[in-house]
Amino acid sequence: MPQLLYNSHHVLADHEPHKILRHCSEEIRNIVRGFGDDVEEMIERANLPVYVHFTEDEELEDYDMDIMIQQLGIGMALWDGCFEHKVLLGSLRKMVTSNAAQVTNIVCIGHGGFGRELASIMQHIVASSIAKELASLYVECGKPLATPITITAQDPAYSASVEWLLSRLPTPIQIVVDPEGFLEINESSFVMSCYPVVPVKQMIADLATDSTAGKGPACRIVSIGRNVSCSTLPNGPTRSYFGPTRFIAYTPL
C-alpha cells in the first residue's frame, strides 16, 4: 500500500540527517522498524521533501464500540469541566472579537487512532467542541456564520470504527486521506496538529505561498516542544502557549 512520507526542513537542511539512526545498533534499528519505519529508506531519502513509501496491507486496529462510546462520554465530561477548556474559550473569544478571518472549517492533521493514547480521543473531542463554541461566539458577537463549521481529519491510523465514532460527536468529524486534509486548508481554516510525524507548519507555509490570497489559515493549534500553541492573526501575529499548568498570550512587536 503506497503512503506519502514527508521530511521536515530540519532534516532537509541537515548535512548528516538521522545521525542517531546511522550510528545506532541493529537492536535500536529493529525497535524503529517496529513502528513501521524503514530505517535504510529514511536515511536514503532524507534529501527528498516528499517520497512514496510502500507497506504491506495491514488490518487497522478495531475497538470494542461500547467501551469507546463510554470513553468518549468520559472525555467530553472531562473537557467540559477542565481549566484548559476555559482558557481556550477565552482565546477563541479574543479571536472572534478581533478582525481575524472568520473560521469556516477545522482541519485536524495527525490526531491518531483511538488506540494510540487518551490524548488522541481528547484532541478529537476538543476539535468538535471548538466548532460548536466558535459558532455560538460568532452569533453572540453579531457575526453569524453563513454555513456550519465543518471538521475534517487526516491520519492513516483511522479505522472504520473510529470513523463511525467521530461521526457521532456533537459536531461530526469527517475522515479524509492524505493529501486531502492539507488541500482543505485555506485562509478561513482552523488547523489542529499536535506532535505529527509530518512537517505540518512547513506545508501550511507552502500552501499559503501558493494560494490565490497568499494567506495562511485563520488559526492554528500546533505543538511546540512540550507545549501546544494557538496562534491567529488579528492585528499581527498572536500566539498563546498551553503548558502543563499555565497559559501565556502575547503579541510580538
Mean per-residue pLDDT over the chain, rounded: 77
Kindly tell me if the per-residue pLDDT of 60 is higher than 60: no
Residue 232: Cβ within 10 Å count: 24
Place of cell 498570550: 249
Calculate mean pLDDT across residues 39-53: 79
The pTM assigned to this predicted structure is: 0.70
Q: What is the pLDDT of residue 141?
A: 93
Rounded-to-5 percentages of helix, strand, coil across the chain: 40, 20, 40
Confidence at residue 57, expressed as pLDDT on a 0 to 100 scale? 53
Q: Parallel, antiparallel, or unpaired: how do β-strands 247-250 and 238-242 relate? A: antiparallel
**Beta-sheet strand order (sheet of 238-242):** 174-176, 150-154, 105-109, 189-193, 219-224, 227-232, 238-242, 247-250
Crossing angle of helices 83-97/65-81, nearest 10°? 70
Mean pLDDT of 152-159: 88
Q: What is the pLDDT of residue 129?
A: 95
Cα separation, 227 vs 34, whole angstroms:
27
Other Cβ atoms closer than 10 A to 159: 17
The pLDDT assigned to 61 comes to 58
Query: Are β-strands 189-193 and 247-250 bridged in parallel, bridged antiparallel, or unpaired?
Result: unpaired
The Cα–Cα gap between 253 and 248 comes to: 16
Q: Is 9's pLDDT higher than 70?
A: no
- Find all residues with CB under 8 Å of 119, minimum gap 6, and list them: 112, 194
| Beta strands 105-109 and 150-154, pairing class | parallel
d(CA 219, CA 92): 10
Domains and CATH numbers, the chain: 2-54 (no CATH), 65-250 (3.40.50)
> How high is the pLDDT of residue 72?
87
- Give the contacts of 184 (CB within 8 A, at least 6 positions apart): 105, 107, 152, 176
Question: How much is the average pLDDT of 75-101?
Answer: 89
